[in-house]
Amino acid sequence: MEIIIDALIWLIDPENWIGEGSVPQRIYEHLLFSFGAILVAAVFALPIGYLIGHTGRGQQFVVGLSGATRALPSFGLILALALFLGVSQREQAAIISLSLLAFAPLLSGAYAGVQAISSETILSARAQGMTEWQLFFKVELPLSLGILFGAVRNASLQVIATATLISYVGLGGLGYEIIQGIPLRRYDQMIGSALVVAFLALAIDWLLSKLQKLATPKGVYQFVGTN
């Protein structure tokens, strides 16, 4: 218990809240890389996911890919890419590794969101004479948002958790005090930072759950639930 109190004392120490390497700066670095990675992943994953969902072709690709990327150890990938790309491009190495982590959940989320729409809904839209683009923008996209946001939450949790490892290649983030504290056995800064990451992950998840509720059309809400 004493150790937890030490961690809390470290956390409220004003010295850790201003200047170079302060907690706010670590949070900023952490979120910068996390969101950057999710954004990069979304740019690639969403069009492919929606294309597969819309056309109904390539489901095997989704299943295979999500299995394969889940097996990929992100920590090793960050280090391997940092070594290959060189020190000057370790930012890119971190973003690529983290975005690979988010890629499969986002792709499956977009695809599953479209798949979950009942075929009657799609057929009625077609019967009204909607073009493919109208069908996508007016029916498939809005109805898929609930499930898609579920996937975004899942991807964010994983990326924010894994972003603690980027400080091993010198990129800061909330893992910095943890990794630096291990050889020194500085439990106060390690546990203090660990608490901040856990809190950050929870806060982002809570925020996204609010967005998920907003994004889900009222009519489908009763089916999607609060999950």
Partner 1 sequence: MTWFLNNLPLIFELTLDHLRLSAIPIVLGFLISLPIGRYAANGTRSGRFLLSFVGILYTVPSLALFVILPPLLGIGFLSELNVIIALTIYAAAIMVRSAKDAFESIPTELLLSADAIGYDRREKFFRVELPAAGPVLLAGLRVVSVSTISLVTVGALVGVQSLGYLFTDGFQRKIAAEILTGVFGTMALALLIDYLLVLIGAKLLPWDKLQRESRRQGV
Total residues binding partner 1 (CB under 8 A): 42
Position among 16, 99, 144, 164 found at the interface with partner 1 (CB under 8 A): 164
Range 141-163 burial, b when 16+ CB lie within 10 A, else e:
bbbbbbbbbbbbbbbbbbbbbbb
* C-alpha gyration radius of the chain: 21
The one-character DSSP state at 164 is: G
8 Å CB contact between 166 and 172: yes
* Interface with partner 1, residue 162, by CB under 8 A: yes
Position among 21, 24, 56, 67 found at the interface with partner 1 (CB under 8 A): 67
- The CB-of-220 to partner 1 minimum distance in angstroms stands at 20
Residues numbered 74 to 103 that lie near partner 1 (CB under 8 A) are 74-77, 79-80, 82-84
Q: Select 99 or 162, whichever has its Cβ closest to partner 1.
A: 162
> Which positions ≥6 away from 163 have C-beta within 8 Å?
30, 33, 34, 37, 94, 98, 173, 174, 175
The one-character DSSP state at 38 is: H
- The CB-of-227 to partner 1 minimum distance in angstroms stands at 10
8 Å CB contact between 10 and 192: yes
Residues numbered 13 to 42 that lie near partner 1 (CB under 8 A) are none
Range 208-227 burial, b when 16+ CB lie within 10 A, else e:
beeebeeebeeebeeebeee
* Interface with partner 1, residue 194, by CB under 8 A: yes
- The CB-of-145 to partner 1 minimum distance in angstroms stands at 21
* Interface with partner 1, residue 44, by CB under 8 A: no
CA distance 147 to 151: 6
Position among 52, 197, 208, 224 found at the interface with partner 1 (CB under 8 A): 197
Interface with partner 1 by CB under 8 A: which residues? 3-4, 67-68, 70-77, 79-80, 82-84, 157, 160-162, 164-165, 168-169, 175, 178-179, 181-182, 185, 187, 190-191, 193-195, 197-198, 201-202, 205
